[in-house]
Amino acid sequence: METIIKRNKSIKPKAPILVVGLPGIGNVGKLVAEHLKREFKAVRFATLYSPHFPHQVVMLKNGCIRLVNNRFYLIKSKKANGSDIVLLTGDVQAVSPEGQYEVNSRIVDFFKNELKGTFIYTIGGYSIGEANGIVKSPRVFGNVTRKEVMKQFSGTNVVFKESRGLIWGSAGLIMAFAKMNKMDGICLMGETSFLDMDASAAKAVILTLSKKLQLDVDTTNLDKIITKTAKAIREIEKQQGIAPINQLQPSIDEKPGERPSYIR
């Protein structure tokens, strides 16, 4: 089996902007993408499967199964000449470097050449280390494909030139392949202290993103999740002695704080 993108619906998005939110540090990207997906009743139109993803299927609440994947959703613009938003989210990221290069270059190729996309946002968490405690007012850091892109974000709260170190996985590689393909993009990172599920960092990014994209986002639900998350953290800490090392981030479809059960 090769990496494939299956089109569920033959949709032609209008001058689309891609927003990528996949599992990672603090699950910031995934939380942002899932929230936008629900808020705007985004419609799935394509699914990416890859042999570089873990060899897992998800047991669904309806009794069926589903191969782990990455999914493309469409949010139609309400304006006459506005850009549609394409959301990319999913269960997993590729497990090997070779897989990461393959999957992420395929994503950029698909967005640019098949969807005729124009700009990419990738969302991640910017870790300040667990030792530094919970972040009260998380900042939103930004790194761009080329200097000119920063100007588009003047007047926003995005902090440039202060982030240091490495971006792992899709949030970074999709930026790199965008740059190689002469497409502009920004990686937005919510400040986090390594929590499994940092709704606070996600909220900060959503506020930035909705202002920039002129989206009318209700963040009430997100506030609830923050409260739930705080409670869940203590439970997770109790369970940490028995948690499997290197386990997948729990899917947002499962209740956070619950211990996953495995079968093979």
Least spacing, CB of residue 77 vs a second copy, in Å: 28
State phi, psi for 23 to the nearest 5 degrees: -55, 140
CA-to-CA dists, residue 90 to 47, 59, 250, angstroms? 9, 15, 11
Q: Which is nearer to a second copy, 13 or 185 (CB)?
A: 185
Q: What are the tokens at 27?
A: 């699950």
Q: What are the tokens at 65?
A: 């199964």
Q: Which is nearer to a second copy, 77 or 104 (CB)?
A: 104
First to last CA, the chain: 20
Q: Say whether residue 245 binds a second copy (CB under 8 A).
A: no
The residue type found at 64 is C
Which part of the chain contacts a second copy (CB under 8 A), choosing from 8-16, 74-82, 87-95, 226-234?
87-95
Sign of CA dihedral 119, 78, 205, 97: negative
Q: Categorise residue 244: left if φ over 0, alpha if ψ from -120 to 50, beta otherwise.
A: beta
Q: Say whether residue 31 binds a second copy (CB under 8 A).
A: no
What is d(CA 51, CA 65) in angstroms, rounded to the nearest whole number?
A: 17
Region 188-207 residues binding a second copy, contact defined as CB under 8 A: 189
Q: Which is nearer to a second copy, 76 or 181 (CB)?
A: 181
Q: What are the tokens at 178?
A: 């965008």
Residue 205 C-alpha from the chain's centroid: 11
Region 145-164 residues binding a second copy, contact defined as CB under 8 A: 145-147, 150, 160-161, 163-164
Q: Say whether residue 80 binds a second copy (CB under 8 A).
A: no
Single out the residue of 60, 78, 113, 231 in contact with a second copy (rule: CB under 8 A). Answer: 60
Residue count, binding to a second copy (CB under 8 A): 76
Q: Which is nearer to a second copy, 3 or 77 (CB)?
A: 3
Single out the residue of 75, 107, 140, 173 in contact with a second copy (rule: CB under 8 A). Answer: 173
Q: Which is nearer to a second copy, 54 or 234 (CB)?
A: 54
Q: Say whether residue 179 binds a second copy (CB under 8 A).
A: yes
β-pairing, 70-75 with 43-49? antiparallel
Q: Which residue has the tokens 């502009």?
A: 184
Single out the residue of 40, 73, 111, 126 in contact with a second copy (rule: CB under 8 A). Answer: 126
Least spacing, CB of residue 67 vs a second copy, in Å: 4
